[in-house]
A = this chain, B = another copy of it.
């Protein structure tokens, strides 16, 4: 019986747009979730190495966060407030400053740009253009920054770009760190274009970059590459926008994924795991001297999602009062890396490559078909894991940071088995 004929799925297949995608890989109806597990309507458990595409760094329904959320709602406190002053917003701002910014010696003003990561990117691009009076932006090959028009123009994926229906302009792609297997000096082309007044490159207002390209195939930028980029931007008076939507909030270890490189971007985009429980929320952080907006020049309805402020502040207190989570993430990440390398070594002719940093990990297969078979085989064995990369050739592992070692082992064993099966096919 096809999905379309099955009454279980009738509401979806007949009423939701064809654009839906994840439900095609995982054709079950999920209902409950706790920690590292999701459960479908039949009660079957699925180990979650997807974590809402990076939204659920602290796992599903973390009891501490759930409690403050339920308490907040139950006591009739404000749920929605645009950018009005609220107690929830004050506590969020104060805690963010005290536990996240100050300890890292960072001085940023907070813009609440709207509820999603694309809003954070759109706000950063707008502000960078206003500050510099320039229009053009440099992005990197295989970048992903969002689906709204401004964010899409700096995104690489051709299917998604084509969806815009208008020519996407004002952006020029430059090679990301690993684009030529590091055969060439960093920024050799970008810097040449910037210093040559006849190059034809419109001088950019900003460069937008991810430290690890999750959607692009779990490509990692080395710390020295990020430092080189930061210096290049400073030298040429170009603003550096760090899109930490997927890699921030501890995914690679530190709260911000750029901490390890020791750089201080001009703007930082944060979203996904910021609320801690999956509620829509996003931030654009800007240096005080760049905060040149007029009141209301950028606005939006859902900038005051108070339940998200409450869980976000509690998440800071729970996970970022000390460095235990950071250390655990790095330790778990190293373990995943070693296991992925073992799997790769087991199939020396298959061209498997382990990639990633912290708990953002990838296993690259020879092609998208193979990676797809591994993902599908993993689902059959009770593991949710997606693929990414231009040809979907990379199995992308984003377990909750709170995952236990047993869960990691279980998931990696499934991936190993699914890989064995896929490569034997």
Contacts and interface: CB of A to CB of B under 8 A. Distances in A.
Contact of A29 (B23, B90, B125, B298): B90
A142 B389 CA distance: 33
Interface string A15-53: 111111111101111111110001001000000000011
A1 to B, nearest CB: 16
Nearest to A295: B21
B171 A126 contact: no
A207 to B, nearest CB: 13
A297 B61 CA distance: 30
B173 A80 contact: no
Nearest to A184: B184
A400 to B, nearest CB: 12
A372 interface: no
A366 to B, nearest CB: 16
Contacts of A5: none
Interface residues of A, number: 151
Nearest to A311: B79
A115 B114 CA distance: 9
A81 B316 CA distance: 23
Interface string A77-90: 11111111111111
B79 A30 contact: no
A348 interface: no
A83 B386 CA distance: 13
7 contacts: A18-B291, A149-B151, A161-B200, A165-B205, A173-B200, A175-B189, A272-B301
- Nearest 6 A/B pairs, CB to CB: A129-B165, A80-B278, A198-B390, A149-B150, A156-B200, A169-B169
